[in-house]
């Protein structure tokens, strides 16, 4: 279920990290899945994956599009939702 912003200003994406223990993400549209080692979220800038240990969602506000994460953060990565196109020959002869 995606977050809809009908009639509102578009969400702006912001990532703020304090040390490796606290993360605040703005522009969150939906939390796809989460556990103690991985949080996958949909943001207005694309899918975002946070990995670490003892991760906890401290605050989630989809109305404001903000998420707070506590725990040991090892990585933050964006996933490209677009499929790879491949080379011209691969696309022609698939």
The reported pLDDT for the residue numbered 9 is 54
Where do the domains of the chain lie? Answer: 14-81
Instruction: Determine whether domain 14-81 maps to CATH 2.60.40.2000.
Output: yes
Q: What is the pTM of this model?
A: 0.74
Say how far apart CA 32 and CA 42 lie, in whole Å.
Answer: 7
With a pLDDT cut of 90, the percent of the chain lying above it is 65
Say how far apart CA 36 and CA 39 lie, in whole Å.
Answer: 8
The arithmetic mean of pLDDT across residues 65-83, rounded, is 88
Give burial (CB, 10 Å; 0-12/13-18/19+) of 56: exposed
> What is the tens place of the pLDDT at every residue in 5-45?
444 556 789 999 999 999 999 999 999 999 999 999 999 99
């Amino acid at each position: 279920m995606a977050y809809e912003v009908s009639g509102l200003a578009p969400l702006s994406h912001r990532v703020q990290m304090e040390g490796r223990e606290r993360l605040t993400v703005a522009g969150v549209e939906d939390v796809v899945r989460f556990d103690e080692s991985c949080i996958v979220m949909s943001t207005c800038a694309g899918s975002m994956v946070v990995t670490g240990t003892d991760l906890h969602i401290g605050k989630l506000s989809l109305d404001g599009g903000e998420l707070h994460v506590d725990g040991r953060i090892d990585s933050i990565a964006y996933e490209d939702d677009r499929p790879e196109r491949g080379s011209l020959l691969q696309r022609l002869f698939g």
